[in-house]
Structure 1
Amino acid sequence: MVKKIVLNPRLNDVFRGSAAVAAGFVTKAQLQGPRFRRLFQDVYVRSDVKVTHALRCRGATLRVPPEAVLTGRSAATVHGVKLAKPYDPVEFVVPETSRFGPVAGMRIRRTNIKPGESKPWANARMARPIRIALDLIFRHTPRLRGTVRRLRTAVPDLDMFLRRKKIKIDKLKVECRHRRNWGVRLGRIALEFVDTKAESHPESELRVVMQCGGLRPTTQLNVHENGEFIGRLDLAIEGKKTAVEYDGRVHETAAQQLRDKKRRQRLAKAGWKFVIVRAEDLASDYRTILKRIQLAGARA
């Protein structure tokens, strides 16, 4: 007769497989069957539980040493700023003296951690908001060659997190000024690019591309004609009357396309030129986007 998996309430959440087997709540064969899903080595959850990044973060704390600190995109996602997808690596920082890692499904970084920069969470620790913001900068590896590429990743993360958590930029700048972490120079530059008015990650990335190309766009510009509001622009080069907008999946619906068309027609009558950027454009050479914007400005 197969034992029912209802003996221990802890099995309704993430749990260590070895501990559950030792306590007699489940057998090794049951762990390998369809009732459970493995999140990490020796960490499981019932197969009917929806896997989110926050769930995997909790599961990961069952494997890390108690001094490990959840941070970066993982901690931001737990805070409600969804920067990590469900199966993205769970990000931790550990003291430089720690010998923990590597672990499949986790991203472990060794660095200095001040005592007040984290608090207890689940079975480990969670970075406080200031430290999360810093680690969103410091998390980038040397594989991301070039300042532009790093800024295109770091700044949108910061935009989204700071927009939600209301952290003062000046405080972050002071923190960066006194740090010696790898990537701190990039951090100081990134903080000069931050704009919490950005409404999406790709929009932030597009703004960074423009700024790195020497342009200074205005974010979320409300346009009025003869005292009447006629539309809002994602990014605008006001002197050239050039609007630059990112059209993601939400713009693919017929209703949204109709709204976009009407709004852009009103703005075009007022002299605005549009450059529409899509995901495939951002994925290609960013200099192509800059050329399109410059050409539109010349026509204006």
Structure 2
Amino acid sequence: MTRPFDSSHLPDVFRGSEARKAGLITASQLRGSSVRRLFQDVYTRAGVEVTHELRCRGAALLAPPEAVLTGRSAATVHGVELANPSDPVEMIVPEKNRFGPIVGIKVRRTEVKPEESRPWNGIRIARKRRIALDLLLRLSPRKSSWTRRLRIGVPDLDQFMRANNLTDLHLNGEFYGRRNRGIRLARHALRLSDPRAESHPESELRIVLAAGGITATPQVEVRSRTGRFLARLDLADEKFRVAIEYDGRWHNTPKEQAYDRKRRRRVEAEGWRFVIATAEDLANDFKGIVDAVWQARRGAFSPRKAPRPDQEGVRMARV
């Protein structure tokens, strides 16, 4: 009986061709169950957890030294996990370099200024302000509408800015004075960004509302007339006292639903109305969300006519 190949002497990530030349593994062992292929000629040991950062290191073994890891990949390496393990590794390669196409690596061909990146694992990695720009330039200008691309790019930018304490003032220098393809969309996305957003769905909901002509502020605190804290809202149209919230699957438990009802009644007692959006709404019913907010605007309570805390009040919901 053939003993299983022991791959423990191999690095976490390696080129198969180089390992064969060094006598560390044979061609048949590369096809066995002791190693796992990440890209063509790039492998990891079978017992190693495949993360996006590991795949970035694997892609770096194939790329030319001038290549720059950027976008969601660089953000994930920096600790803001915007890329899933199986997502394509995002790189910028200068026009002069012949590299790719390689399955699992997404290559854009443009220039990155030397000061916009630093050395990393034999290639380069974008610095934070350049990553913020590339989170938006990575979106194809041809494949979808502006609104759809903003719904993808702005949530990424919000989370990256939040994690790195960045504001639009920090990033203006990266977004202006350029002629990159897609830069107009990127500038518009920067104007719509808000690092106060606490999740991707909340950011996406804000973009849907903005496309419908509604400006909503993230994470607004509501207090009673006496100054007592009542709740913090996902999004708020403060002028019309309309609260817009995203209810994910975690809101479906009886305990969470009871908590939400009590919390929202307290806020409704101060003259607010609620519009509740779900994941299904975000996927299929943009118009319904926007229409519900416009309706709530037209019928919002005035503070003088607020219902008592023990009353249900009027609640606008699209669920």
Tell me the CA shift for residue 199 of structure 1.
Answer: 0.1
1:238 and 1:167 map into 2 onto residues whose CA distance is 25
Equivalent AA in structure 2 for residue 94 of structure 1: V
Tell whether the 8 Å contact from 1:5 to 1:26 is kept in structure 2 after alignment.
Answer: no
Alignment partner, residue 276 of structure 1: 276
Distance (Å, rounded) in 1 between the aligned partners of 2:170 and 2:229? 36
The one-letter code sitting in structure 2 at the alignment partner of 1:269 is A
Q: What TM-score, normalized by structure 2, do the two folds share? A: 0.89
Aligned AA (2:131): I
Highest CA radius of gyration, 1 or 2?
Answer: 2
Match of 1:54 in 2: 53
Q: Distance in 1 between matches of 2:285 and 2:7?
A: 55
Kindly indicate whether residue 156 of structure 2 is the aligned counterpart of residue 153 of structure 1: no
2:143, 2:265 → 1: CA distance? Answer: 40
CA distance in 1, matches of 2:25, 2:228: 68
Provide structure 1 residue ranges, at least 5 long, that are not aligned to the other structure: none
| 1:265/1:7 CA distance change after superposition, 3 Å | closer
Structure 2 residue aligned with 1:113 = 112
* Partner Cα separation in structure 2 for residue 269 and residue 168 of structure 1: 34
Question: Could you tell me which residue of structure 2 aligns to residue 5 of structure 1?
Answer: 6
Give 2:37's aligned residue: 38
**1:61–1:124 contact (8 Å) kept in structure 2:** yes
Q: Give the alignment's Cα RMSD to 1 decimal.
A: 1.6
- Distance in 2 (CA, whole Å) between partners of 1:126 and 1:293 is 42
Matches within 5 A, 1:28-177: 28-177=27-176
Aligned equivalents of 1:23 and 1:275: distance in 2? 63
Q: Is 102-111 or 222-231 further displaced after alignment?
A: 222-231
Contact 2:69–2:125, Cα closer than 8 Å, also in 1: yes
Query: What CA distance in whole angstroms lies between the structure 1 residues aligned with 2:288 and 2:80?
Result: 31
Secondary structure, counterpart of 2:223 in structure 1: strand
Rounded to whole Å, the distance in 2 between the matches of 1:55 and 1:210 is: 37
**Partners of 1:299 and 1:199 in 2: CA distance:** 28
Contact 1:53/1:84, CA 8 A, preserved across alignment: yes
Which deviations, in whole Å up to 9, do the C-alpha atoms of 1:27-55 show, x marking residues without a partner?
A: 22122111111110111111111111111
How far off is 1:167 after superposition? 2.9
* Distance in 2 (alpha carbons) for counterparts of 1:67 and 1:244: 46
How much has 1:293 moved relative to structure 2?
1.1
The number of equivalent residue pairs is 298
Query: How many percent identity over aligned positions?
Result: 54
String of CA shifts for 1:179-238, please: whole Å, max 9, x gaps.
110011111111111110000011011111112221111211111112211111110112
2:212 aligns with 213
- SS of 1:119's partner is strand
Q: Take 2:257 and 2:170, find their aligned partners in 1: how far apart are those partners?
A: 41
**Matching residue's letter, 2:112:** I
Q: 1:250: how far off?
A: 2.9
